[in-house]
Amino acid sequence: MTQADANQQVPGKVVRMHRFPTLSSLLVGLISVAVLASPTVSARDTLLPVPAHGVIGVDDAKLSPGYWVSRLETPDAVLLEPDAIAARNARLLQADDSMHDLAAWPVEIDGQVVRALIEDLSSRPTRTLYDVHGREIPAATLDDLVSNLALDALSSGPRTVRFGLVLKRAPLRTFPTDLRVFSRPGETDIDRFQESALFPGTPVLMLRQSNDTHWEFVVSPRYAAWIPRTSVAIGTREQVLGYGSRTPYRVITGAEVHTVDTREAPQVSALQLDMGVRVPLAEVPLDQPVNGQHPYTSWIVDLPVFGPDDFLAFQPALLPKIADTSPDYLPLTRANLIRQAFKFLGERYGWGHSYDGRDCSGFVSEVYRSMGVQLPRNTSDQAVSPVFARRAFGEADTSEARLAAARALDVGDLVYIPGHVMMVIGHVDGQPYVIHDTNGGSYVDADGELVRMGLNGVVVTPLLPMAFNETETYVDRMTAIVSP
């Protein structure tokens, strides 16, 4: 996702808040696809076969990760060792303004700084918005949302920072509300108040409660927005910041897995854990029942829950050993990048992680996170982060230079255009192919007509035919190639 940013200084850190683009910019950035508009490359030169399913250049063989892995010369070569990854993750927290080093925050923060952070994200909409039924959102409803921010009670002076752990997969919202709003009647996918999502075990700073007490404004390592109060428990600084470094642990390597369903411990029953989430193992006897069940077929993980007085506690839960998990992050290899990405193939596109899914930047983030690599949340930040190898493109770059860069792409490279990111999986007959999570997808046919494929999910496509609009391709509009 591409999002505009604004900078707000807080003690010891520049915290950048983010907004999603307008719907029109999303549709321009994600829906179109065409042939490379270059004086040396014609539509006929790059036109690929279109199978019966209508997705250009993709037959059934190309929908298998094994097809792409088998084409690699050194599929299991380690691209970066774990120590180097850890060091770079640490640099990311320090050097990338879109990231938030929670351990570096002061124990108190001025109320006016909190107010500025909230106002930067939660400004009253000035354009017309619509509900799921296509009805215009009344001005009184928007006034109520602003009132629920409880900003008038925020005065100058120090406020104690509270620490919390996320208990379950939870939405991050522009305003403290479940109300879904859209930019035009009939549009029910891209909720303009949906910012992102957080996962179980994510540490957060809790800076402000909504007027109705049902929401908390939180700062997580990669984002800041409103989260349901029922999704986060207040704990000590040590509990919260120490949870992610506890050992031993399991890393979720499937697209998503679930803990065992149990009526004895409903807070940890059938809990969704997404790719890259790290959960510590519980220190409990291995020969005693856990939540009414013998644990020998499962890993016993320790998950955050509400304890007495709704403060943070921990509860053992069973994670089946047949579930797709690992005792550590996977090695960062080309083969693993392909295999991990293909575990999401066919998942519906989820703007801001809606539909229990993810969007384009969330998709690549979670693939890399399963190998221990942290990325900023949004495409706008991923494409310019100072810690990754990066080739930037601007108006001075010719079509020939862009095409040469596209043909030189390596597996795992991330290709950015305005509003979108794709991951390279290989080349076929000189054509680079990508896997990406998109809500659109188009190409220009032999007659010069724009064909919209309506992909709306995690898909495999060739890169060169993909069109940004009727006259420009994705390659024409590349802003950066990043090698994490």
Provide the percentage of residues in the chain whose pLDDT is more than 90.
88
Note the pLDDT tens digit of each residue in 193-208: 999 999 999 999 999 9
Of the candidates 440, 484, 483, the one whose C-alpha atom is nearest the C-alpha of residue 461 is 440
Q: What's the pLDDT score for residue 152?
A: 87
- CA dist., res. 387 & res. 5, Å (int): 19
Structure tokens at 96: 């990338």
- Tell me which of 25-39, 156-170, 250-264, 433-447 is least confident: 25-39
- What average pLDDT does the segment 325-330 reach? 98
Q: What's the pLDDT score for residue 377?
A: 97
Q: What's the pLDDT score for residue 21?
A: 37
- What average pLDDT does the segment 94-100 reach? 96
Average pLDDT, the chain: 91
In 3-state terms, what secondary structure has residue 367?
helix
pLDDT at 1 over 80: no
Count CB-CB contacts under 10 A for residue 24.
Answer: 10
- What average pLDDT does the segment 93-116 reach? 95
pLDDT at 15 over 70: no
pLDDT at 287 over 60: yes
- CA dist., res. 332 & res. 76, Å (int): 9
Q: What's the pLDDT score for residue 154?
A: 87
Count CB-CB contacts under 10 A for residue 324.
Answer: 15
Q: What is the phi/psi pair of residue 130, to 5°?
A: -130, 155
Q: What is the phi/psi pair of residue 2, to 5°?
A: -95, 130
Could you tell me the pLDDT band of residue 463, with boundaries at 50, 70 and 90?
very high
Q: What's the pLDDT score for residue 46?
A: 59
pLDDT at 43 over 90: no
Structure tokens at 350: 């989820």
User: How many residues does the structure list for the chain?
Assistant: 484
Could you tell me the pLDDT band of residue 425, with boundaries at 50, 70 and 90?
very high
Structure tokens at 194: 């949906």
Q: Which amino acid is at 233?
A: A
pLDDT at 4 over 80: no
Residue 270: exposure state from Cβ atoms within 10 A (0-12, 13-18, ≥19): exposed
- CA dist., res. 455 & res. 434, Å (int): 14
Note the pLDDT tens digit of each residue in 349-361: 999 999 999 999 9
pLDDT at 321 over 50: yes
Q: What's the pLDDT score for residue 47?
A: 78
pLDDT at 5 over 60: no
Q: What's the pLDDT score for residue 78?
A: 98
Q: What's the pLDDT score for residue 155?
A: 82
- Which sign does the torsion angle of CA 233, 238, 239, 243 carry? positive
- What average pLDDT does the segment 282-309 reach? 97
